[in-house]
């Protein structure tokens, strides 16, 4: 069994004081650093948007942040501007151990968002991560990071669909929790057979 740790979007804009701050987002850094040595590979994703990205509320007339709109590929939440390419907010948290093998950027095409590390939000445009993991012979993935109910959950559900043995370690994740999105994400992950690790083990 070859296992990878996939660290999702531990970036300044998702930490307290950031543009799309996840409550206690910075609390994931220490547990994630402590986990790294137990894995054969450590991968990180980096949310990485052009300044005019279509997921930003600022790009839509008569729209407010956190509104839900219909895009050609399906429903999309409109976010505050965050993780703009090369901005300070797009940088990894300075205490995150960057010993990782691979950094995968996502969401860099203006017309389409990408929550998942595997597929963009049309659910069919591949990022290439599946091919990378296959070539490295990785069968088991553990996901940690930000945010539990968006990028972590979408990545976990795609990984399960692709046939990996998937664990989400909730002790090293934090959620945005928009209108019940955390409960919905947990229930979808349970149905998909994702192992959820919490403080009780
Ligand atoms: C994320 C919203 C927008 C995440 C990224 O990392 O969960 N959420 N972009
Ligand atoms: Zn984003």
Ligand 1 neighbours (beta carbon < 6 A): 9, 14, 47, 79, 115, 146-147, 150-151
Ligand lying nearest the CA atom of residue 116: 1
- At residue 139's C-alpha, the angle toward residues 136 and 145, to 5°, is 90
pLDDT at residue number 200:
79
Per-residue pLDDT for 172 more than 80? yes
Per-residue pLDDT for 119 more than 90? yes
Q: Which residues form the catalytic set?
A: 9, 106, 151
pLDDT at residue number 102:
97
3 Cβ partners below 8 Å, 6+ apart? 39, 40, 41, 138, 139, 140, 141, 142
Q: How far is the CA of 21 from the centre of ligand 1 (A)?
A: 10
pLDDT at residue number 104:
98
Per-residue pLDDT for 49 more than 90? yes
| Closest CA to ligand 1's atom 6 | 151
pLDDT at residue number 199:
82
- The model's pTM is 0.97
Q: Is 125 left (phi over 0), alpha (psi -120 to 50) or beta?
A: beta
Q: What is the mean pLDDT of residues 59-68?
A: 96
Reported confidence tier of residue 193, pLDDT bands at 50, 70, 90: very high
Reported confidence tier of residue 26, pLDDT bands at 50, 70, 90: very high
Chain segment 126-145, per-residue pLDDT in tens: 999 999 999 999 999 999 99
The Cβ of residue 26 has, within 10 Å, a number of other Cβ atoms equal to 20
pLDDT at residue number 33:
98
Q: What is the mean pLDDT of residues 56-69?
A: 96
């Amino acid at each position: 069994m070859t296992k990878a740790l996939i660290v999702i979007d531990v970036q300044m804009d998702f930490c307290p004081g950031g543009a799309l701050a996840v409550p206690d987002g910075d609390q994931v850094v220490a547990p994630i650093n402590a986990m790294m040595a137990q894995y054969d590979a450590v991968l990180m994703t980096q949310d990485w948007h052009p300044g005019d990205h279509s997921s930003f509320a600022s790009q839509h007339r008569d729209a407010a942040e956190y509104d839900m709109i219909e895009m050609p590929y399906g429903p999309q939440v409109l976010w505050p501007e965050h993780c703009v390419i090369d901005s300070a907010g797009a940088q990894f948290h300075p205490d995150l151990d960057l010993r990782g093998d691979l950094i995968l950027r996502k969401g860099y095409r203006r017309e389409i968002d990408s929550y998942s590390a595997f597929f963009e939000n049309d659910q069919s445009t591949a990022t290439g991560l599946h091919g990378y993991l296959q070539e490295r012979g990785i069968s088991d993935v553990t996901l940690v990071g930000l945010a539990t109910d968006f990028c972590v959950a979408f990545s976990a559900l795609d990984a399960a669909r692709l046939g990996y043995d998937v664990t989400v370690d909730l002790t090293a994740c934090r959620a945005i929790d928009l209108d019940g999105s955390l409960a919905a994400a947990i229930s979808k992950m349970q149905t998909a057979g994702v192992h959820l690790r919490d403080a009780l083990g």
